[in-house]
Amino acid sequence: MTTDTVPADRTVDLALARAVWQRNRDVFARLWTWLLIPNVVDVCLSMLALGLGLGASVSDFGGTGYAEFIAPGLVACSAMFSAGFECSYGTYYRMDKQRTFDAMVATPVQIEDVVLGELFYGAVRGAVSATAIAIIFGAFGLFGSWWALLLPLVAFVTAFMVAALAVTAASVSPMLETLGYWVSFGIFPMYWLSGTFYDAGELDGTLAALQQVSPAYHAVTVARDAATSSFGMHTVANVAVMLGISVLCTWSAIVLMRRRLIR
Amino acid sequence: MSSPAEIVVDARALTKRYDDDRIAVDGIDFVVRRGECLGFLGPNGAGKSTVMRMLYGFTPRTSGELTVFGMDVARNPRLIKARLGVVPQDNNLDPDNTVWQNLLIYARYFRLPRKVAIERAQVALDLFALGDRRDSEISELSGGMKRRLVMARALMGDPELVLLDEPTTGLDPQARRVVWRTLREMRRQGRTLVLTTHYLDEAERLCDRLILVDHGRVILEGRPAELIAEHAGGVVFEADLTDVAADGAPAQLPAVTTAAMASTGLDHVYESGTLTVYGAGQDPAGVEAAFARIPLPAGTTHVVRRGTLEDVFLRITGHALAEDE
């Protein structure tokens, strides 16, 4: 190992992080129909198959219909999927194949700004997808409370948290292809353990413990609290966990990206 | 004597050693003065690109000192980069955006107001003859156009110092000439240029001063014409021995040839069947006659030609500059 004279300036410049996010926003503005419609269709199909199909034989689930039960979870998970893919495959592609980050850091932009700009973009993309879905679900009367208007905010926080995890995964992925591990061992386990499809209290032992550490579980719980207006101290605790994971993973994403790109 | 021009880059004992102990840059010293065009000339893998990446803080140094505009690169990367234009070796244009958007998006990284960005983008497109390509996708551009767009992009921040890593590698002769013209235009605008190249004609035409590098070290430094006069000579004798025998060129020169050159003080290099004899240090009036007296095996063909930077490089290092060409 050698010890290089590392840059002393490790601050984030918010104005430049914003310029990085604007670059991604501009691309999204050009391609939004291609990027957004698949997200929305996916989730609506899940709702049709599970909410209407499976729901027909699951009566009186937790005091509501099954479709109403899974709706807030599907909204939160759509934010997770959208940000989880954008900030893993999308970020990796920009970093490695298009060398977009290399071009950025030859300007006053530093790696720290690039990472924060990517995370903010992932958060906005997740929130946009989730909001589109929430509007559709709301139109079908699947939310029991006007507090469901908070779902875009919940989706934004969820997407930021997952984006930070995804950029961390991208920063240590040796190849684009190896991001399949992030999908299979990250996104999908979080999805199935999130409590979207069953009452979280039904699990015990190892699965219950895994559920507690799964970031998406906290997101889905908060989303359901909003949709059913059942806030409490547990809501505050779950939001705190999400913010904690976000801060931790933003830090890991920055440190690992710096290690990968500065050479 | 005018006072020496302001020093914009100062590198002392600059070293880059990678984690696998490979030394890319081995304790080099150099300065860049305001308004000049400095060229790093050397074969692939000599450490030229690493030096360029160190100048904009992308590659951290292992040891030594490196200041740009009087500031330490490791301490003030943002302030330094705000005054730099970087043309990297690989075109990293943004394929998700058009030519015009590439320039405007890049301008945001320099915090330019939109009005200024639009003005500068228009000027840059015109300067690089890309005005009719404004709305093209990057994938629709030729190699030469992409290169010009990268250079146009580098001017968005109105840089005092432009770093160009192999600006014309991979371009056809026509496209290279267009790039040279724009580099001269950048100099007319008062910008300082640092470029790397392994093309001799490029180094000779564009650069006021050259630093020849090999294996991460500086081997020679000076003005192109002076380097040639001092280390190669105005004229050079080149003989081709590949056809003197059925089985090709001899592994070594005949003793009589070597002895004749030694007695007249002519320095030479013999590599891959080609004998190069240098006129440097000789009386210019008599050197061609001296060349003519070198005894050579039957079947040898020879020419007397102008000395080049390639000759300088070959004589100093014993190997060619661009072995793959």
- Please report which confidence band the pLDDT of residue A4 belongs to, taking 50, 70 and 90 as the band edges: low
Residue B319 domain-assigned (yes or no): no
- Please report which confidence band the pLDDT of residue B325 belongs to, taking 50, 70 and 90 as the band edges: very low
In B, what residues contact A, Cβ < 8 A? 17-19, 21, 56-63, 74-79, 81-82, 84, 86, 88, 90, 92-97, 101, 105-106, 108-111, 157
- What does the block give as tokens for A126? 């997740």
Do B80 and B150 fall into the same domain?
yes
- Please report which confidence band the pLDDT of residue B1 belongs to, taking 50, 70 and 90 as the band edges: very low
| pLDDT computed for residue B99 by the predictor | 97
Q: Indicate if the pLDDT at residue A68 is higher than 70.
A: yes
Do B202 and B291 fall into the same domain?
no
pLDDT in tens, A160-211: 999 999 999 999 999 999 999 999 999 999 999 999 998 888 888 899 999 9
Name the minimum distance, in Å, from the CA of A116 to any CA of chain B. 14
Q: What does the mean pLDDT of chain B come to?
A: 90
In A, what residues contact B, Cβ < 8 A? 1-9, 13, 15-16, 19, 22-23, 26-27, 30-31, 98-100, 102-110, 262-263
Helix (H, G, I), strand (E, B) or coil at A64: strand
| Edge-to-edge order in the sheet of strand B274-278 | B267-271, B274-278, B235-240, B301-306
Do B137 and B238 fall into the same domain?
no
CB A112 within 8 A of CB A255: no
Between B2 and A143, name the one with better pLDDT: A143
Between B166 and B297, name the one with better pLDDT: B166
B197-225: average pLDDT: 91
B18 and A2 within 8 Å at the Cβ level: the answer is yes
A4 and B93 within 8 Å at the Cβ level: the answer is no
CATH number for position B257: 3.30.70.1230
Type of residue numbered B192:
T
In chain A, which residue's Cα lies nearest the Cα of B113?
A19
Buried b (16+ CB within 10 A) or exposed e, A121-131: bbbbbbbbbbb
Helix (H, G, I), strand (E, B) or coil at A146: helix
Name the minimum distance, in Å, from the CA of A143 to any CA of chain B. 38
Between A183 and B169, name the one with better pLDDT: A183
Q: How many domains does chain B have?
A: 2
Lowest mean pLDDT among B8-17, B105-114, B312-321: B312-321
- What does the block give as tokens for B265? 């003080």
Residue B260 domain-assigned (yes or no): yes
Using an 8 Å CB-CB cutoff, list chain B residues near A110. 77-78
A6 and B92 within 8 Å at the Cβ level: the answer is no
Residue B15 domain-assigned (yes or no): yes
A19 and B101 within 8 Å at the Cβ level: the answer is no
Q: How far apart are CA A194 and CA B108, in angstroms?
A: 39
**CB nearest A102 (choices: B81, B92, B108):** B92
| pLDDT computed for residue B242 by the predictor | 83
Residue B79 domain-assigned (yes or no): yes
In chain A, which residue's Cα lies nearest the Cα of B97?
A27
Q: Indicate if the pLDDT at residue A76 is higher than 60.
A: yes
Residue B49 domain-assigned (yes or no): yes
- Please report which confidence band the pLDDT of residue B106 belongs to, taking 50, 70 and 90 as the band edges: very high
Using an 8 Å CB-CB cutoff, list chain B residues near A90. none
Q: What does the mean pLDDT of chain A come to?
A: 92
A4 and B60 within 8 Å at the Cβ level: the answer is yes
Q: Indicate if the pLDDT at residue A3 is higher than 60.
A: no
Name the minimum distance, in Å, from the CA of B21 to any CA of chain A. 8
Domain ranges of chain A: 14-261
**CB nearest B56 (choices: A15, A27, A106):** A106
Interface test with A, best of B50, B73, B78, B79 (most A CBs within 10 A): B78
| pLDDT computed for residue A263 by the predictor | 77
Do B127 and B274 fall into the same domain?
no
A103 and B17 within 8 Å at the Cβ level: the answer is no
Closest CA to A24 of A112, A111, A115: A115
Do B137 and B42 fall into the same domain?
yes
Lowest mean pLDDT among A8-17, A135-144, B19-28: A8-17
| pLDDT computed for residue A8 by the predictor | 56
Do B156 and B296 fall into the same domain?
no
Query: Domain ends where: B227, B257, B276?
Result: B227
pLDDT in tens, B26-41: 999 999 999 999 999 9
B208-218: average pLDDT: 93
CATH number for position B102: 3.40.50.300
Residue A89 has φ and ψ, to the nearest 5°, of: -65, -45
B207-213: average pLDDT: 94
- Please report which confidence band the pLDDT of residue A62 belongs to, taking 50, 70 and 90 as the band edges: low
Q: How far apart are CA A166 and CA A187, in angstroms?
A: 9
Residue B321 domain-assigned (yes or no): no
Residue B314 domain-assigned (yes or no): no
Residue B325 domain-assigned (yes or no): no
Contacts of B40 (CB under 8 A, 6+ apart): B48, B51, B52, B194, B195, B196, B197, B210, B211, B213
**A68 to A18, A38, A127: CA distances (angstroms):** 37, 22, 20
pLDDT in tens, B225-242: 999 988 888 888 898 888
Do B178 and B245 fall into the same domain?
no
**CB nearest A5 (choices: B74, B84, B101):** B74
| pLDDT computed for residue B199 by the predictor | 86
Q: How far apart are CA B189 and CA B117, in angstroms?
A: 18
Q: How far apart are CA A71 and CA A48, in angstroms?
A: 11
Question: What is the three-state SS of chain B?
Answer: CCCCCCEEEEEEEEEEECCCCCEEEEEEEEEEECCCEEEEECCCCCCHHHHHHHHCCCCCCCEEEEEECCEECCCCHHHHHCCEEEECCCCCCCCCCEHHHHHHHHHHCCCCCHHHHHHHHHHHHHHCCCHHHCCCEHHHCCHHHHHHHHHHHHCCCCCCEEEEECCCCCCCHHHHHHHHHHHHHHHHCCCEEEEEECCHHHHHHHCCEEEEEECCEEEEEECHHHHHHHHCCCEEEEEECCCCCCCCCCCCCCHHHHHHHHHHCCEEEEECCEEEEECCCCCCCCHHHHHHCCCCCCCCEEEEEECCHHHHHHHHHCCCCCCCC
| pLDDT computed for residue B324 by the predictor | 45
- Please report which confidence band the pLDDT of residue B272 belongs to, taking 50, 70 and 90 as the band edges: confident
Do B112 and B259 fall into the same domain?
no
Using an 8 Å CB-CB cutoff, list chain A residues near B112. none
Do B200 and B216 fall into the same domain?
yes
In chain B, which residue's Cα lies nearest the Cα of A2?
B19
pLDDT in tens, B64-81: 999 999 999 999 999 999
Do B28 and B112 fall into the same domain?
yes
**CB nearest A107 (choices: B60, B76, B109):** B109
Using an 8 Å CB-CB cutoff, list chain A residues near B59. 262-263
Do B128 and B202 fall into the same domain?
yes
| pLDDT computed for residue B298 by the predictor | 81
Do B192 and B237 fall into the same domain?
no
Report the complex ipTM.
0.90
Q: For residue B215, what are the domain limits?
A: 7-227
- Please report which confidence band the pLDDT of residue A9 belongs to, taking 50, 70 and 90 as the band edges: low
**Residue for token pair 């490695």:** A96
- What does the block give as tokens for A19? 């310029």
| pLDDT computed for residue A7 by the predictor | 55
